[in-house]
Structure 1
Amino acid sequence: MRLLPRNTPIVYKGINSALTLCEQVAVLGYTRVIIVTDEFLGSSGILDGIKARLTESGVEFVVFDGVLPDPAFDQVQVGEAILRTENCQAIIAVGGGSVLDAAKMMAMLHTNPGPLEKFDGIQKCKNFGLPLFAIPTTAGTGSEITLAAIITDPVSHRKMPIADTKMIPGYIALDAEIMKSMPPEITAATGMDALTHAVESYLSKASTEATETQARAAIRLIFMYLLKAYQDGNDMQARDAMAMASFYAGAAFGKASVGYVHGIAHQLGRVCGTPHGNANAMVLPEVLAAYGDCVHARLADLARLVNIGEPGNGDSQLAGQFIQAIVDMRREMSLPLQPKDLKLQD
């Protein structure tokens, strides 16, 4: 048996936990870091408090805001070159899944130099990456706790899954204050992404008692709080709950993996440019229905978990009601049902 090295992150949770994380950067002895983000977040003011707290703590920083959606390897290379030239000792990633994935890859590339093909697959990295601090700004991808990153080949445009237990960030802040500026449509899409992670990991043949507990917790929180966060972005209880739901779902699928919903969603992203959360939302209930009665017992468990159905309803009926609840949630948040400008010949 081969035992795999795995980061076990320290998690800070609650309003202003991102600032606490910044203080810990200094406590841990790092004096120069790179902040990895995207152009929108870099100019939005979200980083102001983070920069101020780092400065107060005596930590110098440079900012790389060149991450784009579905990050390509050339962006990772540019960011890694900056951190190397600037002699940065650690990375602080502030953003959604694309930013976190790019930062994870930058951390690994710094200590495992080579072309993208070198990383394609599972456990390809010999060395642990640069210390990585993750501050997610969305509640959905779960990238802050997963062992994987999706990096696009800039030539072939193939989305390359890279999985390594050494990619898991060492420190995470789940800060509802950071997330409250998410617009409703992003709240909806990322929330459905988290739901997909949780449901698919629960249905996975690789699931364990631990991942099922995490998936159930995520599903319960999403059904309780996603619509509230969508309707009122300043509802801090809902934002905090969705941050936790995303984290639980990420922890679950990071070990149990996902299924056909993600397989289809990644192709919608590659071919049509559909944002990943929207793509999952487009096909989640339809794929669950297509699975048929082999998943009815498991979906019935989830229906009971979120108080769907009536006592005496059978598994098939409860499964159908659970799927319908997802359809209703998708409709209530006005999520798109097909890629933009999709034509029949596509």
Structure 2
Amino acid sequence: MEFRHNLPSSDIIFGSGTLEKIGEETKKWGDKAILVTGKSNMKKLGFLADAIDYLESAGVETVHYGEIEPNPTTTVVDEGAEIVLEEGCDVVVALGGGSSMDAAKGIAMVAGHSAEERDISVWDFAPEGDKETKPITEKTLPVIAATSTSGTGSHVTPYAVITNPETKGKPGFGNKHSFPKVSIVDIDILKEMPPRLTAITGYDVFSHVSENLTAKGDHPTADPLAIRAIEYVTEYLLRAVEDGEDIKAREKMAVADTYAGLSNTISGTTLRHAMAHPISGYYPDISHGQALASISVPIMEHNIENGDEKTWERYSRIAVALDASKPVDNTRQAASKAVDGLKNLLRSLDLDKPLSELGVEEEKIPEMTEGAFIYMGGGIEANPVDVSKEDVKEIFRKSL
């Protein structure tokens, strides 16, 4: 066994009412903040006003930037960075789901590196085939993250996922300098997630950790987190979907999300995320979680069919965590039980929808395939089974 454990850390503040800590925690890192949110939910629920009050009461002058939409684009991120430079902000605060946190990280990269060199775009930092990327350094502004969903894990990862509306590319990128300094997980915010959002983001938890478990290489420090996260998804996700006021279910899913983010930072995602990113790059109205769900079964079947004993054993562990099989075994038959468990999970969450039902057209498959290899090549390389472009095209077709 060989592995390397290199995990930067956030100061995680977890519990009901913890948003009130956002002011004092932000003050440790700066005096003037840009507060990055989506367009309506945090305002509608009152958490935006609360956050501003907490920040300003702690002596942090606050500029609100509430233009973030799902699948944040280079345009929105670069505009946010320009506001930081114009207003003289020295810390970036995210309040919202994965999109707000990803955008905040991108804004922090651009604004921090623009102090000495202007006309920088977040796309300069993004991987794109053989393109030479701008390094993300300690110049990146500090990020404080308060999550409103249990699913992306972005509050405890360094990764920003940004879409280029011109190329349709949607890579994930970041390093230790883009890791949030402080992460706030307030159950009072999370319990406001509607059922559909709870299901979609909760499935993202499963997707992260099941990919982390099966990725090439050895990752024993991530695997226990990943297994526990799947167990929590199995026991608590449907409960949270059916009853948003079930505090225990909300807490366990928030812990699972945090485990998934930490696991993902140690190990990494594989083919499922590599293929899902170009789906929402070309079809931005398709949520990330649903895109993952729609391609999950054909990918798992492909990996099991073409895997070795090590791969089968890892899928068998997923099957056991999904309560679909016992005991763990290194046979193809044991691994295949994971497919049964996955189908049951998707069905229970009403996420078992083909891509065609979501509006994906077969004619886009070649472009989406190219996008997966250009922008998410690392995930393809980490897949437990080597795949070609023809393999990916065929998986897309089976997902229609």
| TM-score, normalising length: structure 2 | 0.79
Residue 218 of structure 1 corresponds to: 229
Amino acid at match of 2:181: G
**Which of 271, 279, 287 pairs up with 2:291?**
279
Change (3 A) 1:259 1:54: same
**In 2, Cα distance between the equivalents of 1:247 and 1:336?**
25
Change (3 A) 1:66 1:285: same
Aligned length, in residue pairs: 343
**1:309 aligned to 2:309?**
no
Residue 248 of structure 1 corresponds to: 259
**In 1, Cα distance between the equivalents of 2:328 and 2:265?**
35
Residue 205 of structure 2 corresponds to: 194
**In 2, Cα distance between the equivalents of 1:43 and 1:21?**
16
Residue 370 of structure 2 corresponds to: none
Structure 1 residue 22 displacement after superposition: 2.7
Q: Deviations over 1:68-94 (max 9, x none)?
A: 221111211111122222222211101
Gap regions ≥5 residues in structure 1: none
Moved more, 262-271 or 155-164: 155-164
**1:20 aligned to 2:5?**
no
Residue 35 of structure 1 corresponds to: 35
Q: Is the CA contact (8 Å cut-off) linking 1:35 and 1:64 kept in structure 2?
A: yes
Structure 1 residue 345 displacement after superposition: 4.9
Moved more, 51-60 or 235-244: 51-60
Q: Is the CA contact (8 Å cut-off) linking 2:124 and 2:134 kept in structure 1?
A: no
Amino acid at match of 2:289: G
Structure 1 residue 11 displacement after superposition: 0.6
Change (3 A) 1:312 1:79: closer
| TM-score, normalising length: structure 1 | 0.91
Structure 1 residue 331 displacement after superposition: 1.1
Percent identity of paired positions between Structure 1 and Structure 2: 27
Amino acid at match of 2:217: A
Change (3 A) 1:311 1:301: closer
Change (3 A) 1:308 1:158: closer
Residues 109-258 of structure 1 aligned to structure 2 (within 5 Å): 109-113=110-114, 114-121=120-127, 124-258=135-269
Structure 1 residue 49 displacement after superposition: 2.2
Q: Is the CA contact (8 Å cut-off) linking 2:312 and 2:329 kept in structure 1?
A: no
Amino acid at match of 1:39: K
Change (3 A) 1:170 1:310: closer
Gap regions ≥5 residues in structure 2: 115-119, 128-132, 365-400
Structure 1 residue 328 displacement after superposition: 1.3
Q: Is the CA contact (8 Å cut-off) linking 1:180 and 1:236 kept in structure 2?
A: yes
Amino acid at match of 2:192: S
Amino acid at match of 2:141: L
Change (3 A) 1:133 1:267: same
**In 2, Cα distance between the equivalents of 1:51 and 1:312?**
50
Give RMSD over aligned pairs.
2.4
Residue 74 of structure 2 corresponds to: 73
**1:264 aligned to 2:264?**
no
Change (3 A) 1:55 1:263: same
Q: Deviations over 1:23-67 (max 9, x none)?
A: 3223x2633211100102343122232222223323321110011
